[in-house]
Amino acid sequence: MSQYIDMPRLGLGTWRLEGQQASDTVAQAIQLGYRHIDTATRYENEAAVGIGLQQSGVARKELFVTTKIWYDQLAPEAMRRSAAASLEKLQLDMVDLLLIHWPNPDPAWNMAASLETLAEIKQQGWAKHIGVANFPVALLQQAWGIIGEELKVNQVEYHFALQQQALLEFTQSHNMLLTAYSPLARGDFNDNPVLQAIATKHGANVGQIALAWLLRQDGVAAIPKASSVAHLQSNLQAAAIALDGDDLAQLQAIPKDQRLINPDFAPQWDA
Ligand SMILES: NC(=O)c1ccc[n+]([C@@H]2O[C@H](COP(=O)([O-])OP(=O)(O)OC[C@H]3O[C@@H](n4cnc5c(N)ncnc54)[C@H](OP(=O)(O)O)[C@@H]3O)[C@@H](O)[C@H]2O)c1
């Protein structure tokens, strides 16, 4: 019996949304029915996202808001400062989920101290849940050894063209959600013939097929970024598409070796 946290499985990603556009898109998305918004200190849009949350007119308790702490702010005092600044910008008393955005690549990084501080930040009421992002299996295992079931989410790149089976097995068996970022492969999917054929069969578009494939998986959430009403609406409807066994076999057969987000500070992914 799984005990995942109560997080809406489809959220809005906000990377690259800034200023007025970020506020308007967040407000619009919530009015359309989104209840989960993903931001980060690094996106430099928390204040704009906060305005959008207010402008939506939807009660705070209905919304699930995630933010993240950047990897160079993982010393305990810096983490507390980062979390406090996020709350102020977002105009919130508490976020629903606070993540370590990336493991710190510095070999001297004290991961235990960072994770324990994250748990303390939760304890003091600034975050309802905590988790990590961009943690490969080996690091996630280590993190589990430090704060265990406090960890509720690992947010990683995951889409039809990137394999994440080992991570998914880990998160599923530890009651953690795997949040798929770049779930639309950053919008680079229009010429994929497999997605196109399945989309035609269901009277859907390729983005909806990409999202439907993720959302049908146990313990998986997805946070597509979109900035037009048409895209926002289309993505919201993806969960209703019922893929059949034949669709799933074809989607599974797409080569899964396309990692799109791989900065020089990234961890060793296959560790
Ligand atoms: N934790 C991390 O390190 C990390 C890293 C990357 C991303 N993320 C999070 O994940 C979110 C999503 O990832 P992402 O922004 O990299 O990429 P994505 O969601 O896979 O793709 C976004 C792109 O797809 C387009 N798009 C959206 N809906 C569409 C539709 N229905 N049909 C066609 N195109 C569509 C968007 O265009 P329009 O804007 O024009 O609608 C945009 O160009 C980010 O915004 C961020 O919140 C986290």
How confident is the model over 60-72, as pLDDT tens digits? 999 999 999 999 9
pLDDT category of residue 236 using cuts at 50, 70 and 90 = very high
Note the pLDDT of residue 191.
83
Res. 43 pLDDT band, cuts 50 70 90: very high
Instruction: Return the pLDDT at 190.
Output: 76
Residue with the smallest CA separation from ligand 1 atom 37 is 226
Q: What is the mean pLDDT of residues 127-153?
A: 98
Q: Give the pLDDT confidence score for residue 1 in this predicted structure.
A: 59
Q: How far is the CA of 101 from the centre of ligand 1 (A)?
A: 16
Predicted confidence band at 156 (pLDDT cuts at 50, 70, 90)? very high
Please tell me if the CB atom of residue 227 comes closer than 6 angstroms to any atom of ligand 1. yes
CA angle, residues 91, 93, 94, in degrees to nearest 5: 110
Share of the chain above pLDDT 90, in %: 97
CA of 179 to the centre of ligand 1 (A): 13
In this structure, the residue with its CA closest to atom 25 of ligand 1 is 187
Query: Please, what's the b/e burial string for 57-96 (b: 16 or more CB within 10 A of its CB; e: otherwise)?
Result: ebeeeebbbbbbbebebbeeeebbebbeebbebbebeebb
Q: 92 phi and psi, to 5 degrees?
A: -125, 155
50 lines ligand 1 (CB under 6 A): no
Q: What is the mean pLDDT of residues 190-201?
A: 93
Mean pLDDT, residues 239-252: 97
Query: What integer pLDDT is reported at residue 38 of this predicted model?
Result: 99
Q: Rounded mean pLDDT of 29-47?
A: 98
Mean pLDDT in the chain?
97
Q: Ligand 1 mean position to 190 CA, how many Å?
A: 14
Q: What is the mean pLDDT of residues 222-244?
A: 97
The mean pLDDT value for 187-197 works out to 90
Mutate which of 43, 153, 184, 228 for ligand 1? The one with the most ligand atoms within 8 Å of its CB, which is: 184
User: Is pLDDT at 231 greater than 80 in this prediction?
Assistant: yes
Average pLDDT of the segment spanning 251-255 = 96
Ligand 1, atom 41, lies closest to the CA of 226
Instruction: Take atom 4 of ligand 1 and give the residue whose Cα is closest.
Output: 181
Segment 110-132 shows an average pLDDT of 98
Determine the average pLDDT of the residues in 28-52.
Answer: 98
How do residues 176-189 score in pLDDT, each as one tens digit? 999 999 999 999 88
Domains, the chain: 12-187+217-227 (3.20.20.100)
Q: Can you read off the two tokens belonging to residue 185?
A: 């492969």
CB neighbour burial string for 170-208, b if at least 16 within 10 angstroms, e if fewer: bbbebebbbbbbbbbbeeebeebebbeebbeebebbbbb
Q: What is the mean pLDDT of residues 112-136?
A: 98
Ligand 1 neighbour 261 (Cβ under 6 A): yes
Instruction: Give distance in angstroms: CA of 180 to centre of ligand 1.
Output: 11
Q: Give the residue from 79, 66, 48, 217 showing the smallest Cα distance to 131.
A: 66
Q: Is 4 a catalytic residue?
A: no
Say yes or no to pLDDT of 230 above 80.
yes
